[in-house]
Amino acid sequence: MTLDDILADLRHQTSRARHAETGFWVASVLRERIAAGQLDPGSKLSEEALGEALGVSRNTLREAFSALAAERIVTRIPNRGVYVAQPSVDDIREIYRVRRYLEPAAVAWSPTTDFTALRRAVERARVARDVGSVGGMADANQAFHASIVALGGSDRLDLVMTQILAEMRLVFHSMGADTAFHAPYVEDNIRIVELLEAGDRNDAAALLTDYLRRAEEQLLAEVAAEDA
């Protein structure tokens, strides 16, 4: 999807949406687009083009950029503009620190027994893996982990996870089309759902904790190799 495609889609979305012209709303729209992988790391975010597409003022857009910069999703470069962030090694470590607190707790402590969203996400991932679709696996993985946190039934935690997933999409961008990175985690996700459906919450949380550790180590090794 090109930037022009995204802008056209934003115009269409804005024409149908009822919203207050607030920086919060604009930030949520851009965050969702980044989390969906539609804006790559390093992409410049034009104030003029986005303001026109979203039908908001530059001041409103700058409020949104400030919020996203605080979340490390975008980066402001003086005299050059605003760009989609490129997460550093320290960012990756911090992202996974938050995830280790958030996701296993949701698995272990949530009272819900409805795992439909998780089951749908792993089925999507399985299909994507079988046809070799890295993008499909990444999308399904994002949906899976969002659904993990949603087990907690907290809007605030869901918002935190949306921010984390937007950063994660930027991190995963460094893995490119490497099916060897994404495919093994499909089976881990399937196993987590099986454990939850069997009532083995502690085992599911333990598997997820180890899974996050392995993913962090793999990503850090990839970044180190790129910098070498």
pLDDT in tens, 139-149: 899 999 999 99
Q: Which of 139, 103, 115, 126 is nearest to 216 (CA)?
A: 103
pLDDT in tens, 147-172: 999 999 999 999 999 889 888 888 87
CATH class belonging to 89-227: mainly alpha
CATH class belonging to 3-84: mainly alpha
Helix axis angle for 201-227 and 179-197, nearest 10°, is 170
Which residues are CB-neighbours of 161 under 8 A, at least 6 positions away?
102, 145, 146, 149, 150
Determine the pLDDT at residue 156. 93
Sheet containing 74-77: give its strands across.
Answer: 44-45, 81-84, 74-77
SS3 assignment, position 76: strand
Q: Tell me how crowded residue 54 is: count the other CB atoms within 10 A of its CB.
A: 23
Domain spans, the chain: 3-84, 89-227
> Considering the entire predicted model, what is its pTM?
0.78
d(CA 94, CA 23): 25
